[in-house]
Amino acid sequence: MSEKEIKIIVIGGGPGGYVAAIEAAQLGANVTLVEKDALGGTCVNRGCIPTKALIQTANLLHEMGRAGEYGIVVKEYALDFIKASERKEKIVRQLRDGVSYLMRKNKITVIKGTASMTDTGRVLVTGDHEMELSGDKIIIASGSEPGSIPVDGIDGKDVMNSDDVLSLESLPQNVVILGGGVIGLEFAQMLKRMNVEVSVIEMMPRILPTEDHEIARTLERALKKEGLNIYTNSRVTCIRTAPSGAKEVLFSSNGTDMEVEGEKVLVSVGRHPCTEGLGLEQAGIALEKGRITVNDRMETNIKNIYAIGDVVGGVMLAHKAMAEGRCAAKNAMGIEKRMDYKAIPRCIWTSPEAAAVGLTEQEARERYGDVKVSSFPFTANGKAKILGETQGFVKIISESHYGEILGVHLIGPHATEMISESVLGMQMEACSHCFNETIHPHPTLSEALLEASLGLEGKAIHI
């Protein structure tokens, strides 16, 4: 069988699935993609894109309040949440249409329906019309869904998940958010900047428990300064409706029983892989803790069946799913490719933004023992002063003997854009000398990365 005759079925049209489909089609496969909802998946329709669109509105509203610092007199302004939501939906629609165009351009057959494997090479699609597809290879990219917690009242009225927030037609006066991870904090600050009172309850001793502790501490200070109420080391015991109709969240914080009230409660406690109804048992595909297990070629325990993205667990990021999709498609087409997770960036679209790649300082010390750590504050960066955004720093961790970069952590203006230089450096196994000898333009925020790298050798210039 020639490569052009290989039939590949992709289950799921999110960022992992549609990228896998395009990669396989470009390599000569006959590709059919099955999607039960809308192309683009959670990312385009209910995640990355709509949330960042609303965050942009919230941030611009916040900046309007600071206009006087820049010599601009603004006498009157107000949020029109309906128009902000319409703008969000327009962006989502444009990007979703863009994915549809890419499917047509790459001659990928798209079928709307729910896919379930009947054996290792056949997929039953149910929906408006029932059909059975046969393929030589299958790539599962079924994604994830919002998680929950076993608490009384969690399924009650006015208790939302992240999908529900994006469908709000008006803003509540106050909200209680369960979960101080990335999603919870992005929604928390967005709502606060839209004049909603926000309380965040996090079970772990600090917000962002998987990120570098200095990043988490700096962001918590910034959020509290804006007026967010943050309770850490707290366990929710019950959600109930008060006589006023508001929701009361009862929780224990550092051993003290407390309660906080809100019109709405947002449950943001992570996401779970979508595996139900896929026919995994019929195909003999192995699961571990609710996720599909794969090797570094993204192949399941069943030959010629691959799985990618949130359904395989790990960090649930769109760009990670895209990389896994390309990897799976290559292997499905006979091109040897293995996933390398060393340099996957992690981004948080709060203000200040935060971004990281590689190991935290604690992880680096546990793994390597003696490491070098250097930080450079944005208060000493000219471009940050020009922007009026000097909160935060760049932190670099390197191995002591050869100077290989082990981790880079940023919190400050445009951190999510700045991290890419460090991602490339780590992918190329760069040492601090490589960064030190790279000329960075002036005045830019990226100079802070250079200065932090120079600091590993005790040679920072501007501090």
Catalytic residues: 442
* Token output for 198: 């926000």
Can you name the residues that pair with 305 across neighbouring β-strands?
Answer: 138
Longest dimension (CA), the chain: 71
Q: Are strands 287-288 and 291-292 parallel, antiparallel or unpaired?
A: antiparallel
Pairs from 194-197 (Cβ < 8 Å, separation ≥ 24): 194/57, 194/58, 194/61, 194/79, 194/81, 195/79, 195/171, 196/171, 196/172, 197/173, 197/227, 197/229, 197/262
Rounded CA gap, 451 and 443, in Å? 13
Contact 298, 331 (CB under 8 A): yes
* Token output for 245: 């109709």
Alpha carbon 96 to chain centroid distance?
Answer: 18
Rounded CA gap, 357 and 355, in Å? 7
DSSP state of 430: -
Please enumerate in sequence order all residues whose Cβ is within 8 A of that of 185, keeping only pairs 6 or more positions apart, or say none.
200, 207, 208, 219, 223, 348, 350
Please enumerate in sequence order all residues whose Cβ is within 8 A of that of 9, keeping only pairs 6 or more positions apart, or say none.
31, 32, 33, 34, 115, 123, 133, 135, 137, 138, 139
Query: With 0-12 CB in 10 A as exposed, 13-18 as middle and 19+ as buried, what is 460?
Result: middle
Cα→Cα distances 106→18, 24, 28, Å: 11, 10, 10
DSSP state of 13: -
Kindly tell me the number of DSSP H helices and DSSP E strands found in the chain: 14, 25
